[in-house]
């Protein structure tokens, strides 16, 4: 069943149940009141008839005029007066009245009784030392006419209410679901050809705005993934094709005719050199793919980042003896436990080393700041250089495998270091953020969750 139909059915059921309960309450309340009111009417007639029939004073004429002018005759109205001195109600008689009803009047001074649609009201009247039972009976015209009219009126009102409720529920559900249907229609327009399309966020509905924003964020990630995949395929094919082409070309040229021993040796060296490059790129690519997993297979244990940072500095200085790395520990916390993280020391060493080596390489061994700080939740590593920087147009793609900025043609590299570092940091539930321009160099910030 469609959501719109469910909303219509739900709202209609709720309001219908409410109307039925409310209408039933009105119907039975008025019906019960009609019985009580009619008994009172009969009782007034009984008192009036008792005065008329049993009293002899001068006010009787006035009572007769009041009855004639204001008390209309009821349907099948009957009046019965029983002289208790002459008639024993406790014995069987030929009266059509209930024996228990007569006894109730005698004992309680007044009583009411109903048989089918005929109502009885009786009083015990005292006059000149004698007791009488005055009983008035009639059909309840109010119950047979007015209550039926009320019932029919409520049924008609109920039918009209159902139509109104269904219309309101339909209109309400349509209005509520219209933004969702619009979103569905826009989502159907999205394909791999137009991943840059974004849904319009509504301002008057917080839930739909949140849903739309979440979907747009997902589109941002998908678009980035597709662009990354395209760049990866393009750059990987180029990087892997270049040494393969060199190897094949060198072998073809060498085998085209007989060569001297020296030429064969030189050719084999060239092939070996290109094969070595291909081997490094292939291994780097495989390791990059491995670090792209969620890291569940990796063993993580508590380690001190300050010790790791010192070890990274020593390692980089061995590879780049001319590098100038300045350790900045000015912002270290007083509690050394705040520098502890859960991680794989070898992988983190590799990731941080790549960042520091890039800073040294692209700054041409000028001064590199290697800073460490911590908060209650995170350990922060910052690497700053004054090198060639990264062009603004290239900055969004520096974490794509094999991508290299346009100003790095004079520097050796494969475009694997930063993507590898980012994967390792992500594996440790951290973040790696790069800011750069071509005038002031590059700043890389690594944030890792602290164990404390």
27 pLDDT tier (thresholds 50, 70, 90): confident
Among 313, 302, 371, which Cα is nearest to 337's? 302
Alpha-carbon distance of 339 to 13, in angstroms, equals 62
For the CA atoms of 325, 330, 333, 339, what is the dihedral angle to 10 degrees?
A: 0
Alpha-carbon distance of 164 to 302, in angstroms, equals 68
* Residues pairing with 127 in the sheet: 130
Q: Provide mean pLDDT across the span 264-269.
A: 87
Using the 8-state DSSP alphabet, how is residue 157 labeled?
H
Q: Each residue of 166-195: pLDDT tens digit?
A: 888 888 777 777 777 777 777 777 776 676
Output the pTM of the full model.
0.45
How far from each other are the two terminal CA atoms of the chain, in whole angstroms?
52
294 pLDDT tier (thresholds 50, 70, 90): very low
Helix (H) or strand (E) holding 245: helix 206-255
Chain-centre distance of CA 220, in angstroms?
A: 21
Q: How far apart, in Å, are the Cα atoms of 104 and each of 81, 110, 112, 449?
A: 15, 7, 9, 90
Alpha-carbon distance of 118 to 77, in angstroms, equals 9
Mean pLDDT of the residues in the chain: 79
In terms of C-beta density within 10 A (0-12 exposed, 13-18 middle, 19 or more buried), how is residue 243 classed?
A: buried
144 pLDDT tier (thresholds 50, 70, 90): low
74 versus 113: the higher-pLDDT residue is 113
CA angle 353, 239, 192 (to 5 degrees): 100
Residue 452: the pLDDT is: 63
In terms of C-beta density within 10 A (0-12 exposed, 13-18 middle, 19 or more buried), how is residue 442 classed?
A: buried
Alpha-carbon distance of 363 to 383, in angstroms, equals 12
Q: Each residue of 61-79: pLDDT tens digit?
A: 554 555 554 456 677 778 7
Alpha-carbon distance of 224 to 220, in angstroms, equals 6
Pairing status of strand 441-449 against strand 301-304 = unpaired
Residue 239 has pLDDT above 80, yes or no: no
Q: Each residue of 356-404: pLDDT tens digit?
A: 988 998 988 889 999 999 988 999 999 999 989 988 888 888 887 777 8
Q: Which two tokens stand for residue 75?
A: 């349907």
For the chain, state the CA radius of gyration: 50
281 pLDDT tier (thresholds 50, 70, 90): low
**Domains in the chain with CATH codes:** 3-147 (3.30.450), 206-290 (1.10.287.130), 301-449 (3.30.565.10)
126 pLDDT tier (thresholds 50, 70, 90): confident
Q: Provide the percentage of residues in the chain whose pLDDT is more than 70.
A: 82
Residue 295: the pLDDT is: 43
Q: By mean pLDDT, which of 52-66, 165-179, 192-206, 334-348 is the weakest?
A: 52-66
């Amino acid at each position: 069943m469609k959501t719109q139909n469910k909303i219509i059915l739900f709202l209609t059921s709720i309001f219908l149940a409410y109307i039925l309960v409310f209408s039933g309450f009105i119907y039975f309340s008025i019906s019960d009141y009609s019985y009580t009111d009619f008994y009172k009417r009969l009782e007034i007639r009984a008192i009036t008839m008792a005065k008329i029939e049993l009293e002899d004073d001068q006010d009787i004429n006035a009572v007769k005029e009041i009855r004639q002018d204001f008390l209309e005759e009821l349907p099948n109205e009957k009046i019965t007066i029983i002289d208790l001195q002459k008639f024993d109600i406790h014995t069987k008689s030929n009266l059509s009245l209930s024996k228990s009803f007569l006894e109730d009047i005698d004992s309680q001074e007044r009583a009411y009784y109903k048989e089918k649609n005929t109502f009885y009201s009786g009083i015990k009247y005292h006059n000149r030392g004698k007791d009488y039972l005055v009983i008035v009976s009639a059909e309840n015209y109010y119950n047979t006419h007015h209550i039926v009219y009320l019932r029919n009126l409520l049924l008609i009102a109920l039918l009209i209410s159902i139509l109104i409720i269904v219309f309101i529920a339909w209109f309400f559900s349509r209005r509520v679901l219209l933004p969702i249907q619009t979103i569905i229609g826009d989502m159907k327009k999205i394909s791999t050809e137009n991943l840059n399309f974004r849904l319009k966020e509504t301002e008057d509905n917080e839930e739909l705005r949140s849903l739309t924003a979440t979907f747009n964020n997902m589109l941002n990630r998908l678009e980035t993934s597709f662009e990354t995949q395209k760049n990866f395929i393009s750059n990987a094919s180029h990087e892997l094709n270049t040494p393969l082409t060199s190897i094949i070309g060198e072998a073809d040229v060498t085998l085209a005719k007989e060569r001297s021993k020296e030429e064969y040796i030189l050719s084999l060296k060239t092939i070996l050199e290109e094969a070595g490059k291909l081997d490094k790129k292939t291994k780097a690519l495989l390791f990059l793919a491995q670090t792209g997993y969620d890291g569940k297979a990796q063993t993580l244990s508590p380690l001190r980042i300050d010790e790791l940072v010192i070890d990274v500095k020593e390692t980089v200085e061995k590879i780049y003896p001319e590098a100038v790395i300045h350790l900045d520990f000015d912002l270290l916390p007083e509690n050394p436990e705040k520098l502890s993280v859960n991680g794989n020391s070898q992988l983190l060493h590799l990731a941080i080393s790549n960042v520091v080596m890039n800073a040294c390489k692209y700054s041409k061994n000028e001064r590199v700041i290697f800073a460490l700080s911590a908060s209650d939740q995170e350990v922060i590593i910052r690497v700053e250089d004054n090198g060639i920087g990264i062009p603004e147009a290239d900055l969004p793609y520096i974490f794509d495998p094999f991508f290299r900025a346009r100003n790095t043609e004079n520097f050796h590299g494969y475009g694997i270091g930063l993507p590898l570092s980012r994967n390792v940091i992500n594996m440790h539930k951290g973040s790696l953020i790069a800011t750069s321009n071509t005038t002031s160099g590059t700043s890389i910030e690594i944030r890792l969750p602290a164990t404390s």
